[in-house]
Amino acid sequence: MAGRLAGKVAVITGTGRGMARQVALRFVREGASVVGCDIDAEAAQETLEIVRAAGGRMESLHPLDLFDEKEAHRLLEFAAEQFGGVDIVDNNAMQLRLGPVEDMSLADWQLTIDNTLTVPFLVSKHAIPHLRARGGGSIIFMGSAVAAPIGAGYAGNLPLLPAYAVAKAGVLRLTVALANELAPWKIRVNAISPGCVATPNGLSFYGQEGSEPRRVVESALLIPEMTAPEDIADAMVFLASPEASFVTGHNLAVDGGYVASGAAGPQRPEDVAAYAPIMAELAVVDHWPTTGVRPA
């Protein structure tokens, strides 16, 4: 298949379900060969069959626990053996435990940090020699709106997600650190930060259509609907492709304006109306003083 990723080899982690399955389908449609993996063997096998049935070139290692460093290393070696090298890494896999800090066990905290922050570190670490050998490449991390900078609004304070938010903030910091470290080898490193995506996992958290949690989260967006996994796949193709050859160290929000609005959602007409008299008054002030003389 010809396309924007023609001839490229992509490693995608956690292909058993959700966004990674969509990304695998998109990548093969764009001409890439894909290597997937998942700790959940049955789900990963299902994705493999779906992608191959769509005519895509894909291999998969499953079950594979990426928190085991030897396994992370094996995945990258396998990809290079199967398809001759590695050009693209989508660090998608994660696991999390929910709960307020006060009630969270050390084991739950650790599981979240291990699988959401340490796994992408291990995968990237073992990808670097392969990407360097190809003369460049693209590593893409999955951030999240929950990792929004302090002061950027409600998104970073979603209830029950402290361990996950900390892990994702770490992922974004790792993105920038690696973008700097790997620039000499033409390896670009970027992140995508979704808000609320309609994957099975996302829906279990944000609720089905019509539910109260769903109303709450959608009212926090400028585009008030759940993101489709396909929207994430579109962004992923862009960052993986030569179209993004000058983009590195960037965190691309694909979140319907979640963070941009401070999770406050669209401007309320009554709030805008409250400012109308002030705006009318300010409009007579010359803000572009070319002569230095205020109009009479």
Ligand X SMILES: NC(=O)c1ccc[n+]([C@@H]2O[C@H](COP(=O)([O-])OP(=O)(O)OC[C@H]3O[C@@H](n4cnc5c(N)ncnc54)[C@H](O)[C@@H]3O)[C@@H](O)[C@H]2O)c1
Residue 219 token pair: 């009212």
| SS3 call for 241 | coil
Cβ 17 to ligand X shortest distance, Å? 4
Cβ 26 to ligand X shortest distance, Å? 14
Position closest to ligand X via CB:
18
Cβ proximity to ligand X: between 92 and 261 the closer is: 92
Helices first, then strands: H and E counts in the chain: 10, 7
Closest CA to 107 of 97, 117, 116: 97
> Where is 43: in which H helix or E strand?
helix 41-53
Cβ 296 to ligand X shortest distance, Å? 55
Write the CA distances from 89 to 25, 60, 126, 190, integer angstroms: 15, 14, 11, 11
Binding site for ligand X (CB under 6 A): 14, 16-19, 37-40, 43, 64-67, 92-95, 115, 119, 142, 144, 194, 196-197, 199-202
Cβ proximity to ligand X: between 18 and 56 the closer is: 18
Spatial separation of the C-alpha atoms in residues 30 and 86, rounded to whole Å: 16
* Active-site residue list: 164
Cβ 291 to ligand X shortest distance, Å? 52
Number of other CB atoms surrounding residue 12 within 10 Å: 29
Cβ proximity to ligand X: between 28 and 221 the closer is: 221
Cβ proximity to ligand X: between 200 and 266 the closer is: 200
